[in-house]
Amino acid sequence: MHQTSNEDITRAFNKNARLYDRWMTFFERYIAQGARAWAVSKAHGAVIEIGVGSGLNLPLYGPRVEHVTGFDLSEKMLAIARRRVLEKRIGRVDLHHGDAQNLNLPSESADTFISTFTFCTIPDPLAASREAYRILRAGGVFVLTEHGRSTRALARSVMRAIEPLIIRVSAEHITRDPVPYLTSAGFTVTEVQRGGPGGIVFRILAHKQPLRD
């Protein structure tokens, strides 16, 4: 299967940025209902959002969130997010061009990592999981909502068959399951919910355990 690179991601999302919000409105109305609101509701303290995209989460963060630092590889997506922050006068947010696989942030400096529909696009999801683990404080949480492989065998086979084409066109892995990457990085996966048509929508909480005496 084609191995994506950061350049593939940047190209795909710069190209599709203009239509992104419209496509997500459809996707969230019919497929991933409530998943974004669920993910944002789990965030607290100092939050790092990877693949912040056009900033659809930014107006939704509640009072338990002190500050959000968002990163993305696509300048076109970031431009939409920056406009949203200005137009909606959203405070407590910084947005940066940056790579979730290698973030210029100190270790143990965040309470929450959040990835909404981003994990499926990251070229090296294990590197991104390790980076989240490094930057989270003990007891911190990585919140993910994603689309991935179906729980139904036939749908799963169809998804596997069309995945190489989807990767080439939009740099998205449609059968990726985040859980093995999270556990390999050291996280304890504390919640996994599957929903949407054929169970393709994942809601996941993974904790960095507090140090024991």
Gyration radius from the chain CA atoms: 16
Least distance from ligand SAM to the Cβ atom of residue 100, Å: 4
Member of 13, 61, 142, 181 binding ligand SAM (CB under 6 A) = 13
Counting contacts by CB under 6 A, is residue 99 touching ligand SAM?
yes
Member of 77, 174, 182, 205 binding ligand SAM (CB under 6 A) = 77
DSSP 2: P
Q: Which residues between 47 and 76 bind ligand SAM (CB under 6 A)?
A: 50-53, 56-57, 71-74
CA distance 46 to 1: 37
Member of 117, 133, 181, 187 binding ligand SAM (CB under 6 A) = 117
Measured at the CA of 191, the angle between CA 187 and CA 63, to 5 degrees, comes to: 90
Q: 3-state class of 136 per DSSP? A: strand
Counting contacts by CB under 6 A, is residue 111 touching ligand SAM?
no
Counting contacts by CB under 6 A, is residue 122 touching ligand SAM?
yes
**Residue 47 is encoded by which pair of tokens?**
């939050």
**Residue 110 is encoded by which pair of tokens?**
């965040």
Per the listing, tokens 């999981």 go with 129
Footprint of ligand SAM on this chain (CB under 6 A)? 9, 13, 24, 50-53, 56-57, 71-74, 77, 99-101, 116-118, 121-122
